Structure 1
Amino acid sequence: MDWKTFQALLSGVNKYSTAFGRVWLSVVFVFRVMVYVVAAERVWGDDQKDFDCNTKQPGCPNVCYDHIFPISHIRLWALQLIFVTCPSFMVVMHVAYRDERERKHRAKFGEDSKLYTNTGKKHGGLWWTYLISLFAKTGIEIAFLYILHHIYDSFYLPRLYKCEVVPCPNVVDCYIGHPTEKKVFTYFMVGASALCIVLNICEIIYLISKRIARIINKCKRRNHHMAVQHDDYNNDNFHNYNVALPKRDMDDKPHPKIRASAPNLTLS
């Protein structure tokens, strides 16, 4: 497996992630990929060679080994690392789709025209893509931990395993190579996986709370703007009423009547 190419692909996700996402990526590379490549592969490299059973019955050691290790730890962890990082590529592909739309929009309407203020900013559909990728990563981590727990009985590797699978003639004692070392690496990888789950949950809570706070602030600004407009409207009507009132009062005021006195026609 080419882990350098894998790292190069995931490094593009880092610039679109939050602080929790960057810590998650560091944990994946430092505590999981590096430990897997440097130490874990060597510990499990001679696993079947060091597996020993106290019988010479042909096929019995192979059947007992397959019964104890139906899925090798090292291959299961490799699958887990691949599957758990695949949802992050959804974000990269969505940003690439936005970049392509932005390029076509500028080619059609000019370089000064912009469709997105920032194609990598988590708004709209990209926010939902990022949130779905976090839920997918968390679900995959939990699923692989359950598989490991279900197969190996609470992540525990015994020193001695009693096997009674056909074609073994009777109950056979089988010994696992380097059991303490393998147990330490198993607990370490399980702890790193649990830490990644906690980081994913914290990032989900952070994104949702930030979105809710933004919506609340937007509603407050909208209500404040409407209240200011309402006050301005009332003040303008009051001012117009005060200005027009004297003119209307003068028009409605009754004019004084002029009486013409009749001439005195009496003869003296």
Structure 2
Amino acid sequence: MDWKTFQALLSGVNKYSTAFGRIWLSVVFVFRVMVYVVAAERVWGDEQKDFDCNTKQPGCPNVCYDHFFPISHIRLWALQLIFISCPSFMVVMHVAYRDDRERKHKAKFGDNSKLYNNTGKKHGGLWWTYLISLFVKTGIEIAFLYILHRIYDSFYLPRLVKCEEAPCPNQVDCYIGHPTEKKVFTYFMVGASALCIVLNLCEILYLISKRIVQVAKKIKRRNRNVALQHDDYANDNFNNFNMTLPKRVLEDKPPSFNSVCKPLSRLEVLGMDPKIRASAPNLSLS
């Protein structure tokens, strides 16, 4: 396996990751890939040659080795590293899809037109892709830990195993090569895998809590704008109402009764003009 190519592919995910994602990537490379390449492969090597049984019966050592080691540790860890890296490539592919859409959009509407402010920013569909990739990585880690625990009985490697499988003539004692060293590396790789699970869970909680805070701020800002618009509308109606009222209604003191109801003279009551009344003859003298 070309681990340099593997590292180059995963390095592209680093710039789209959060702080927890960068720590996860460092743990994968330093504590898992480097340990796997430098030490683990040499410790295991061709472990079937180091599996010795106290019989010369043809086929018995092979059958016993297959019974106790159905999947080699080193090959299982290689599969695990490949599988946990595949969800990260989903994020890279989604960003590449966004870049392609952005390029087509600029080619159609001009360079000044933008479809995305930042194609690598985790919002919209990319946020969901990133979150799903974290869930998938966590599930893969847990699944491989369960497989290793199920096959090797709590990650324990004994020095001596007893085999009764055919074609062994009777109960055969078989010895594992470098059992203590293999046990130490097994616990180390299991601990690194558990640390990666914790980092994935922390990143999931971080992304969800951050999104909840953003949504809460957005709702609060929207409610504040609605309240300000409502206050402005109420103030405008109040001012318009004051402008339409007559001036005497806006005064502090009510108008007096005499200013409203002036005393009327007799002529005003009768509706007659005093000039016309003066020109009439005096009939009482006649």
> TM class by shorter-chain length?
over 0.9
1:246 CA drift (Å): 1.6
Cα deviation 1:87-129 (Å, max 9, x = unaligned): 0000000000000000010111111100000000000000000
In structure 1, the residue matched to 2:150 is 150
1:58 and 2:52 aligned: no
1:49 CA drift (Å): 1.1
The one-letter code matched in structure 2 to 1:147 is I
Moved more, 45-54 or 22-31: 45-54
The one-letter code matched in structure 2 to 1:84 is I
1:249 CA drift (Å): 6.1
CA distance in 2, matches of 1:232, 1:212: 30
CA distance in 2, matches of 1:249, 1:33: 87
CA distance in 2, matches of 1:211, 1:200: 17
In structure 1, the residue matched to 2:140 is 140
**SS in structure 2 of the partner of residue 32 of structure 1:** helix
Structure 1 239/147 Cα, relative in aligned 2: closer, same or farther at 3 Å? same
Cα deviation 1:20-56 (Å, max 9, x = unaligned): 0000000000000000000000011031111100111
- Report the TM-score, using the length of structure 2 for normalisation: 0.90
In structure 2, the residue matched to 1:159 is 159
In structure 2, the residue matched to 1:218 is 218
**SS in structure 2 of the partner of residue 112 of structure 1:** coil
In structure 1, the residue matched to 2:176 is 176
In structure 1, the residue matched to 2:83 is 83
Where does the alignment leave 5 or more consecutive residues of structure 1 unmatched?
Answer: none
The one-letter code matched in structure 2 to 1:46 is D
Aligned length in residues: 266
Q: Pick one of 272, 277, 285 that aligns with 1:261.
A: 272
1:261 CA drift (Å): 3.5
**Pairwise mapping of residues 21-100 of structure 1 onto structure 2 (< 5 A)?**
21-100=21-100
Instruction: Give me the identity figure in percent.
Output: 81
Greater Rg, structure 1 or structure 2?
2
**SS in structure 1 of the partner of residue 169 of structure 2:** coil
In structure 2, the residue matched to 1:129 is 129
Cα deviation 1:122-152 (Å, max 9, x = unaligned): 0000000000000000000000000000000
Runs of 4+ off more than 4 Å: 247-250, 253-258
What is the CA RMSD across the aligned residues, in angstroms? Answer: 1.8
1:247 CA drift (Å): 6.2
In structure 1, the residue matched to 2:253 is none
1:248 CA drift (Å): 9.6
**SS in structure 2 of the partner of residue 194 of structure 1:** helix
- Report the TM-score, using the length of structure 1 for normalisation: 0.95
**SS in structure 1 of the partner of residue 157 of structure 2:** coil
**SS in structure 1 of the partner of residue 216 of structure 2:** helix
